[in-house]
Structure 1
Amino acid sequence: MSARGSPHASGPPSRRGDHAPKGADSLRRTSDRCECWFRRVLVVVLLLGLPAAAGSAGLTAYEASMRTVRAQAAERHQVTARLTSTVKGDDWAKRAAQVRWTDTNGVVRTGTALVKPGTSKGATVRVWVTRDGTVTGPPASTLNATTSGWMVGGMAAFGVAAGSCAAWAGVRRVLDRRRYARWDAEWLLVEPQWSARFHR
């Protein structure tokens, strides 16, 4: 008997799916394909959009902070002032006290600054003032600008990641609802046939 017509002919057996079109999968539903493509889009967003958003937001915040740093550095300067009265107290927290100094034009000015408790009247303190003689805090530094840039960039990155996760969860929820609805509809058609088999 010829082996050509034999069901046990030699040679490697054909694999399942050899006759199916390339990329086709009878078990994959339309919702599965949508989920796969949406997952790929989110991966691209995370790989490209997250660094871009974080870098852009961080750089913008840093440049804005640096403008503030330069403006405050030009507006504020330190002067040596003297306390007009003794600062009472023995704790560590600074307290507001009145100080007096003479500006570059020879005008005597007064203001309120934070001074350590226990500092006696007439003691000298260094205070920051504006051009119009108002006591203020020290100007922002480049460290403040750098910190602001990193914080804003990190918040932007977190926002992109959180938005992507929320979008993924939302899409999965919508697709799962459609799947469950389709399964229920199909079960309504199949269940009578299954029931009939066991009641014969």
Structure 2
Amino acid sequence: MTAFRGPRVWGWRWRRNPLRRRSDALEAWVVLTVWVVTVVGGVLTGLAATHSVEQGLARERAQWRPVVALLTEDAPKATTATASGAGRVWADVRWTGTDGRSHTGRARVAAGSSTGTAVTVWTDGAGSLVTRPASRSEAGVRAAMAGVLVGMSVAAVPCMGGRIVRERLERRRMAEWDAAWARFGPMWGRKTG
């Protein structure tokens, strides 16, 4: 059974009222706490996530370097499947790292390129192949999206917890009403006088 909901009166749980129960005041504090934790927690964790992602992407931009690599095999010709990928295919390449050692790996190159063609690849500090790092504007968008997602995810936790607490309070309140009705309801049927 759900409670009757009349017109909303803001702040009624905070006002002195002979009909206000302890559970009403407790629910008011639960709602206030949930909103504060939701807003503050969501915003702070969202900002922290945004800052962390921005730092990580800035570190990648600073440490990852473009290197000229040479194809060690002829790249496959473009097919209809690769045509949608702007004519780029996977092929084996070889490059010399900053440590002077020769490295090999697979990179996306123009379809149909011949052996020995120079291509630009990106490497990290260890000389391993990586993707091209995000530009400042791309990093800003990624960081903002991560911050919003993390903030909303964190904010959902106290919202769900508050909802569960409020449902339990509502059930308890309805049980109290049922008990009171069971106690006083039969008295209404008696005739007086």
Q: Quick check: TM above 0.5? A: yes
Q: Which residue of 2 aligns with 1:189?
A: 183
Q: Does the aligned pair in 1 maintain the 2:75–2:90 contact within 8 Å?
A: no
Matches within 5 A, 1:1-200: 23-71=15-63, 73=64, 76-82=65-71, 84-91=73-80, 92=83, 93=85, 94-100=88-94, 111-129=105-123, 134-143=128-137, 145-197=139-191
Give the fraction of aligned pairs with identical amino acids, expressed as a percent: 32
Alpha-carbon displacement from aligned partner over 1:61-87 (angstroms, at most 9, x marks no partner): 32233334333x2xx332152463252
Task: Measure, in 2, the Cα distance between the counterparts of 1:105 and 1:186.
Answer: 83
Q: Is contact 1:79–1:101 with CA below 8 Å preserved after alignment?
A: yes
Question: CA RMSD of the aligned region, Å?
Answer: 3.4
For 1:191, the aligned partner's letter is G
What SS does the corresponding residue of 1:49 show, helix, strand or coil?
A: helix
Structure 1 residue 176: Cα displacement = 0.8
Deviation at 1:182, TM superposition (A): 0.6
Distance 1:172 1:106 in 2: 66
CA contact (8 A) 1:54 1:157 kept: yes
Partner SS for 2:190: helix
- Between stretches 30-39 and 133-142, larger displacement belongs to 133-142
Equivalent-residue separation in structure 2 for 1:113 and 1:29 (angstroms): 69
Q: Specify every segment of 5 or more residues in structure 1 that has no aligned partner in the other structure, as ranges.
A: 1-22
Classify 1:31/1:80 alpha carbon distance in 2 versus 1 (closer, same or farther; 3 Å): same
The worse-fitting range, judged by mean Cα deviation, of 169-178 and 57-66 is 57-66
Tell me the SS of whatever aligns to 1:88: coil
Deviation at 1:169, TM superposition (A): 1.2
State the 1:167 CA deviation.
Answer: 2.5
- Cα 1:171/1:86, change in 2 over 3 Å: closer
Q: What do the CA deviations read for 1:127-184 (whole angstroms, capped 9, x no partner)? A: 3345776544324444454344323321232124312321231121111111111111
TM-score, normalised by the number of residues in structure 2:
0.68
Select the structure of larger CA radius of gyration: 1
AA matched with 2:73? T
Q: Distance in 2 between matches of 1:130 and 1:196?
A: 88
Gap regions ≥5 residues in structure 2: 1-14
Over 3 Å counting, the alpha-carbon distance change for 1:178 and 1:108 in structure 2 is closer
Q: Which has the higher contact order (CA 8 A, sep 6+)?
A: 2
TM-score of the superposed pair, with normalisation by structure 1: 0.66
**Secondary structure in structure 2 of the residue aligned to 1:28:** coil
